[in-house]
Structure 1
Amino acid sequence: FRGKTSSVERNPAVPGTSGQTNRAIDVYLADDNLIVREGVKALIERNADLRVVGVAADYDGVVSGCAATEPQVLVTDVRMPPSFRREGIDAAKEVRSMFPGTGVVILSQYDDPEYAVSLLAEGSAGYGYLLKDRVAEGTQLADAIRAVATGGTALDPQIVEALVRPVLTPGGLSSAEELLLSLIAEGRTIKAIAAIRKVPPSVIDAEVEAVFVKLATGVSAGDHTALNRLRLLHQAIVDREEQGETLSRLLPSGLASKLRNASDVRIGETEKVFVTVLMSDIRSYSTIAEHADPSELASQLNTHRAAMNRAILGEGGTVMQFVGDAVMAVFGAPFPQDDHGDHAVAAAAGMHALQADINASWRAIGLPEFGLGIGLSTGPAAAALLGSEERLEYTLVGDTVNLAQRLQQFASAGETVLSSATRDVLSVQVPAEELPAQLVKGRDTPVVAFKIGQMTKAGTL
């Protein structure tokens, strides 16, 4: 579920929801044309479940406005001041870098697929692209806002057609060439197409080049559409292959760049690392889920995950995975970090602080609060890149990982429990209560751990 939960009072029941109470989706609107902007605003606010929380007319206004309001969805034009080129798309990407859960709907008067390719180059989840002259038709705009707020995609049919329609040159394309071109337009990499066809990537690479040559024939015949299509498709392939776009979406932060820069990293090979592992879990989550509205709970969980992600990344950690209400992160891998223990403790404090702020806003609107328990463990582990070239998973295994999971079970809401090894590597000691030695599952000898109460970012009680 995408988007952010905000301190918004509950709205009256929205028509068509069987009387259920829903909170409004906060929308930030950007367009340099005042008349268009006000018209779109009125169109949005005709819906009881949508609310415009701010407007802007240029790139700087969009970025600063979204930073201040943290909307669930940004609706923006493509071309705005200062250069009237693609400020809307650039601003949208900047907003998404600050708030990964924010949905984006681009409104454009251009059906050129170049803008859509630019927008969707890093994945389509949470993005929409609509043509301005069609947004007033039915509920298209409102439906798109709702879709991207929940991580969906909303593309105008004309844009979809432009993206996947093969370009016919004077000589025409064979059915096999049309299929190949369609796969490329869908964003499939050369390696992925080769896997589908069960042939070496070099064969697909040659076929793609041949199709491009054929399209170039159309260009020489004066076909401007063929030229534009050729340029866009070629750039999409180059971007995905050279920038590792697919790896960046599948792997934890930092690992994709490591793979691109280190040719000796191989699938299936393990790397010995010395790290601090963080495990967090929401206390009494099953009870909360039993009584909560599923849609509201999903929104809460997304808000929680986004905040935890910010706290971990802010300390140089790597988010390994989200599993239900649990978060697993590592400090010291995939890149070495000398003071990984200090950063892990600081991240845990930041996670508690952010969740406390979120809980205050939830409390004001009657939503259940999340009580966070965190476990930290330091020691050796084995890191491995497992899977295939089409689907990869970065995995961390070893007793250090298992111990972090066990220790978080000892932490009550607002507390962090760390292993003695984690406490020993800290450069600055924090006040902590030593717990009685006790056996944990998977260990033959008792474990000594230390409990830290609610902490500030500075590391004080």
Structure 2
Amino acid sequence: MAPVRVVIAEDSLIVREGVVQLLRSSDDIELLAACASLDELYDAVDSHGPDVVVTDIRMPPDHRDEGIRAARRFRLTHPHMGVVVLSHFVSQSYALAFFDDGTHGRGYVLKDNIDDQDRLAMAIRTVAVGGSFIDDMVVEALVRARTRLVDSPIESLSARELEVLSAMATGANNEAIAQRLGISAHSVEKHTTVIFAKLSLDAASDVNRRVKAVLVFLAGHATAGV
């Protein structure tokens, strides 16, 4: 199988070099270019046509939301290219903005966790084939935020259902959730059915659609029309 071809964009030299070393240690990932700004990222993508971009959310020129803006642009200019954003922040607004135009081929990883080679590599491999990856800590933050709301339907979920929901929102399929929680895939399927019923969410077969629906709901936004 051909390696996943990657371009990274990160203005911090220390973080950038750390990511470079991590990726170079993965046999199935090929690093094409390392950039320090949004303009450099655009040039590198146009020049190399990577399978996946790994980008900081904040970088020059404005240090605001360049990674999210780049992801939106690439959705139009390079629709089959995956994007993984790196962030210091567990932010509802960043997560929802990043996934606003769809979760397929998109990953959200916290910088605190990028020293975990397997986690970053998994995110890259997942988005390269059109999947979605959301850091567990981001999902947990959204769950906590949602449970603070008055009369939240989340409060009706059992402890096990919350575990399944968190795993589901990372993009894991039933088999992966079952392995993670030490239960059967059939049990996961039953829990999923109950979760969607309690949260009034459409249990669509498309995983990315489910992740989007769960994220929007957990962040406290209306789920209608998702």
Scaled to the shorter chain, the TM-score interval is: 0.5 to 0.7
CA–CA separation in structure 1 for the residues paired with 2:69 and 2:92? 16
- When residues 70 and 160 of structure 1 are mapped into structure 2, their CA distance, relative to the original with a 3 A threshold, is same
Per-residue deviation, 1:174:
3.8
Does the 8 Å CA contact 1:67/1:95 hold for their aligned counterparts? no
CA–CA separation in structure 2 for the residues paired with 1:101 and 1:141? 19
Per-residue deviation, 1:46:
0.3
Does the 8 Å CA contact 1:63/1:95 hold for their aligned counterparts? no
Q: Could you tell me which residue of structure 1 aligns to residue 113 of structure 2?
A: 134
Q: 1:60 aligns with which of 32, 39, 46?
A: 39
CA–CA separation in structure 2 for the residues paired with 1:104 and 1:77? 10
- When residues 164 and 46 of structure 1 are mapped into structure 2, their CA distance, relative to the original with a 3 A threshold, is same
Secondary structure at the residue paired with 1:139?
A: helix
Asked if residue 89 in structure 1 is aligned to residue 76 in structure 2, the reply is no
Does the 8 Å CA contact 2:22/2:117 hold for their aligned counterparts? no
Greater helix percent: which structure?
2
CA–CA separation in structure 1 for the residues paired with 2:49 and 2:76? 12
Does the 8 Å CA contact 1:148/1:154 hold for their aligned counterparts? yes
CA–CA separation in structure 2 for the residues paired with 1:177 and 1:34? 41
CA–CA separation in structure 2 for the residues paired with 1:194 and 1:35? 42
Q: Could you tell me which residue of structure 2 aligns to residue 72 of structure 1?
A: 51
Per-residue deviation, 1:176:
3.7
- Offset from partner CA, 1:211-243 (integer Å, 9 cap, x none): xxxxxxxxxxxxxxxxxx9xx634xx4xx87xx
Per-residue deviation, 1:89:
1.1
Per-residue deviation, 1:175:
5.9
- Offset from partner CA, 1:381-426 (integer Å, 9 cap, x none): xxxxxxxxxxxxxxxxxxxxxxxxxxxxxxxxxxxxxxxxxxxxxx
Which runs of structure 2 are paired with 1:24-423 in the superposition (5 Å)?
24-165=3-144, 166-168=146-148, 173-174=150-151, 176=153, 178=155, 193=200, 233-234=220-221, 237=222, 246=226
Per-residue deviation, 1:124:
1.1
Gaps of 5+ in 1: 1-21, 187-191, 197-228, 247-461
CA–CA separation in structure 2 for the residues paired with 1:96 and 1:31? 20
Does the 8 Å CA contact 1:105/1:144 hold for their aligned counterparts? yes
Q: Could you tell me which residue of structure 1 aligns to residue 213 of structure 2?
A: none
Secondary structure at the residue paired with 1:28?
A: strand
Higher Cα Rg: structure 1 or 2? Answer: 1
Per-residue deviation, 1:103:
0.6
How many residue pairs are counted as aligned between the two chains?
174
Per-residue deviation, 1:178:
4.0
Q: Could you tell me which residue of structure 2 aligns to residue 443 of structure 1?
A: none
Q: Could you tell me which residue of structure 1 aligns to residue 181 of structure 2?
A: none
Between the two proteins, what is the percent identity of the paired residues?
39
Greater strand percent: which structure?
1
- When residues 143 and 168 of structure 1 are mapped into structure 2, their CA distance, relative to the original with a 3 A threshold, is same
Per-residue deviation, 1:117:
0.9
CA–CA separation in structure 1 for the residues paired with 2:62 and 2:76? 22
CA–CA separation in structure 1 for the residues paired with 2:128 and 2:154? 37
Secondary structure at the residue paired with 1:66?
A: helix
- Offset from partner CA, 1:288-332 (integer Å, 9 cap, x none): xxxxxxxxxxxxxxxxxxxxxxxxxxxxxxxxxxxxxxxxxxxxx
Residue type at the aligned position of 1:108: S
CA–CA separation in structure 1 for the residues paired with 2:26 and 2:202? 46
Does the 8 Å CA contact 1:72/1:102 hold for their aligned counterparts? yes
Greater CA deviation, 159-168 or 50-59? 159-168
- When residues 177 and 71 of structure 1 are mapped into structure 2, their CA distance, relative to the original with a 3 A threshold, is closer
Which structure has more RCO (C-alpha within 8 Å, separation ≥ 6)? 2
CA–CA separation in structure 2 for the residues paired with 1:92 and 1:39? 22
Q: Could you tell me which residue of structure 1 aligns to residue 177 of structure 2?
A: none
Residue type at the aligned position of 1:233: G
RMSD across aligned positions (CA): 2.9
Residue type at the aligned position of 1:168: R
Gaps of 5+ in 2: 170-198, 204-215
CA–CA separation in structure 2 for the residues paired with 1:193 and 1:114? 23
Secondary structure at the residue paired with 2:63?
A: coil
CA–CA separation in structure 1 for the residues paired with 2:114 and 2:103? 20
- Offset from partner CA, 1:181-236 (integer Å, 9 cap, x none): x99xx8xxxxx94889xxxxxxxxxxxxxxxxxxxxxxxxxxxxxxxx9xx634xx
- When residues 105 and 194 of structure 1 are mapped into structure 2, their CA distance, relative to the original with a 3 A threshold, is closer
- When residues 179 and 124 of structure 1 are mapped into structure 2, their CA distance, relative to the original with a 3 A threshold, is farther
Per-residue deviation, 1:109:
0.9
Per-residue deviation, 1:36:
1.2
CA–CA separation in structure 2 for the residues paired with 1:140 and 1:177? 27
Secondary structure at the residue paired with 1:233?
A: coil
Per-residue deviation, 1:70:
0.8
The TM-score with structure 1 as length reference comes to 0.35
CA–CA separation in structure 2 for the residues paired with 1:194 and 1:147? 24
- Offset from partner CA, 1:251-279 (integer Å, 9 cap, x none): xxxxxxxxxxxxxxxxxxxxxxxxxxxxx
